[in-house]
Amino acid sequence: MSSFLASELKALGVEIELRYLGKQEGTEVDLPPIILGKFGNDPEKRTILVYGHYDVQPALVEDGWDTEPFKLIEKDDKLIGRGSTDDKGPVIGWVNVLEAHKKAGIEFPVNLVMCFEGMEEYGSDGLEDLVKAEKDKYFKDVDATCICDNYWLGTTHPVLTYGVRGCSYYSITVSGPSADLHSGIFGGMVSEPLIDLTHILSKLVSPQGEILIPGVMDLVAPLTDDEAKLYDSIKYSMQDLFDATGSQTNLHDDVKPSLMARWRYPTLSLHGVEGAFSAAGAKTVIPAKVSGKFSIRTVPNMTPRELDALVFKYINDEWAKLNSKNKMEVKLLHDGMWWVSDPSHWNYEAAKKATKSVWGVDPDYTREGGSIPITLTFEEELKRNVILLPMGRGDDGAHSINEKLDMSNYINGIKTLSAYLHYISVEPATST
Ligand code: BES
Ligand code: ZN
């Protein structure tokens, strides 16, 4: 993917540098390179940093896809395939923006600095160090940043996004016997890792979604009246949620608490158990070593280290209560910070005008429940405003099966990104 993307950009005249960051921590696997690019260096123009990621979540036909996930299909006015909306489609959108200007012979309105990575879906390993090292070098002229890696809330109304949650991802590994055992022979004679693990996992979160780890909710910034009012005008309905999830399994009855749970409160999700018997059939086995995976989405004012301390202490305390002779190890796999920005900045004004000119309506201003770990680093290190300007819709199925990007969102998305850069070139500066 990195070679492909680099060659597409080079062909359009972008000066490319591939930055190799060594091995992934604790492994012998090379990290995928960061693609840095520059297009234009006119001191009279603003310089905009665009960021995206060319890595994707895993996908197998067996997960339930109707088509081969890594083959791009065009059907019913949709582009279907892993990464169509998250985030290969939007990244190619930036390529198309350059291509369109070139073909139409239109002067490019800004200088572009590009940063495309291949580890976003694993906490952006290595990128934070690179941004810190390059803030006064490669990124020194950046006036504002634009990230196209999120979605509208629903399916009809465009949005601009000024916040994401962070994500701290953990594993709990329980091991006992030296190999998987016959449950008829050894069941009742040995302590079973999966029984211990499920016991611990059940103590993390209630079925109503309440985090059961003491102290976590105390780290959350209190809700102010002004903030509460922001939710009143958001165009989102419970039906949007039902449609996007294909179910009516909502934890809250109304839109406002649902959106607050997604945007401004932490949540804990259980993702899976590695090493457990998970295939079809009825194998009578005692798995010898199992790892439960869970993550906590973080919000202002939680800090990853404070959260880790609460998580580790609680799990160790709960483990001690089991009096098990198995071994337990809890690990942080990766983490990324939350980010909340200032949507009154000229960066947002330009995006608002661009959205209106393409879609004919004013966008809603939203925060998001998902995470883009490098966002806060860009804003803090470069000391420049960041906007999330999405391309896809809320029902695109990011991380799910049959991920898609509607053709109209793709084409109008390219127009929106282009128009945004043109509005950027004329938008008066705001004080922030
Ligand atoms: N595009 C998403 C971020 C996103 C998700 C924005 C939902 C808005 C709504 C991004 O590619 C992503 O999925 N990030 C991971 C990061 C994590 C592994 C640190 C995520 O949120 O799970
Ligand atoms: Zn993703």
**Is 123 near ligand 1, meaning CB less than 6 Å away?**
yes
Provide the 3-class DSSP secondary structure of residue 407.
helix
Average pLDDT of span 255-263: 98
> Residue 395: is its pLDDT beyond 70?
yes
**What does the block give as tokens for 328?**
């337990």
Instruction: Give the SS3 label for residue 197.
Output: helix
What is the fold, at CATH topology level, of the domain defined by 2-164+339-424? Aminopeptidase (3.40.630)
Ligand 1 pocket check for 181: Cβ under 6 Å: no
Report pLDDT for 376.
97
Any atom of ligand 1 within 6 Å of the Cβ of 121: yes
- Distance from the alpha carbon of residue 103 to the mean position of ligand 2, in angstroms: 31
> Does the fold of domain 166-220+265-336 match that of domain 2-164+339-424?
no
Residue 399 alpha carbon to ligand 2 centre in Å: 6
Render pLDDT for 86-131 as a digit per residue (tens, 0 to 9).
999 999 999 999 999 999 999 999 999 999 999 999 999 899 999 9
221-253: per-residue pLDDT in tens? 999 999 999 999 999 999 999 999 999 999 999
Of the candidates 192, 122, 175, 143, the residue with the CA atom closest to the CA atom of residue 334: 122
Computed over every residue of the chain, the mean pLDDT equals 97
Cα(298) to centroid(ligand 1), Å = 13
Q: Please identify every residue annotated as catalytic.
A: 55, 120
Distance CA 168, CA 297 (A): 6
In sequence order, what E strands does 179-283 have? 181-182, 267-274
In whole angstroms, give the CA distance from residue 144 to residue 158: 21
Gap from CA of 142 to ligand 1 centroid (Å) = 24
> Would you say 111 and 42 are in contact if contact means Cβ atoms under 8 Å apart?
yes
- pLDDT surpasses 80 at 432: no
Phi (first) and psi of residue 325, to 5 degrees: -90, 0
Does residue 165 have a pLDDT over 80? Answer: yes
- Rounded to 5 degrees, φ, ψ at 264 are -125, 5
DSSP 8-state code for residue 275: T
Ligand 1 near 375 CB (within 6 A): no
Residue nearest to atom 7 of ligand 1 (CA): 370
- CA torsion 68→69→75→78, rounded to 10°? 180
Q: What angle do CA 203, 306, 208 make, to 5 degrees?
A: 30
**pLDDT at residue 208 is higher than 90:** yes
Distance 107 CA to ligand 2 centre (A): 33
Measured CA to CA in angstroms, residue 277 lies from 187, 194, 295, 296 at distances of 15, 10, 22, 25
**Tell me, what's the pLDDT at 430?**
82
Most informative mutation of 236, 294, 295, 372 for ligand 1 (most atoms within 8 A of CB): 372
Omega before residue 87 within 30° of 0, cis: yes
Q: Smallest Cα–Cα separation from 78: which of 412, 405, 416, 417?
A: 405
Percent of the chain with pLDDT over 70: 100
Q: Where are the alpha helices (DSSP H) in 48-126?
A: 88-104
Instruction: List the chain domain ranges.
Output: 2-164+339-424, 166-220+265-336
431 — pLDDT class (breaks 50, 70, 90): low
- CATH tag for 166-220+265-336 (out of 3.30.470.20, 3.40.50.970, 3.30.70.360, 2.120.10.30): 3.30.70.360
336 CB near ligand 1 (under 6 Å): yes
Stretch 252-278: mean pLDDT: 98
Instruction: Give the contacts of 425 (CB within 8 A, at least 6 positions apart).
Output: 45, 46, 109, 110
Q: Is 87 in the pocket of ligand 1 (CB under 6 A)?
A: yes
In whole angstroms, what separates CA 279 from the centre of its chain? 29
Task: Identify the pLDDT of residue 406.
Answer: 98
Which ligand 1 atom is nearest residue 334's CA?
19
Instruction: Please state the rounded mean pLDDT for residues 6-23.
Output: 97
What pTM was estimated for this model as a whole?
0.96
All residues at 6 or more sequence positions from 160 whose CB lies less than 8 Å from its CB, including other chains: 343, 348, 351, 352, 355, 363, 364, 365, 366, 387, 388, 389
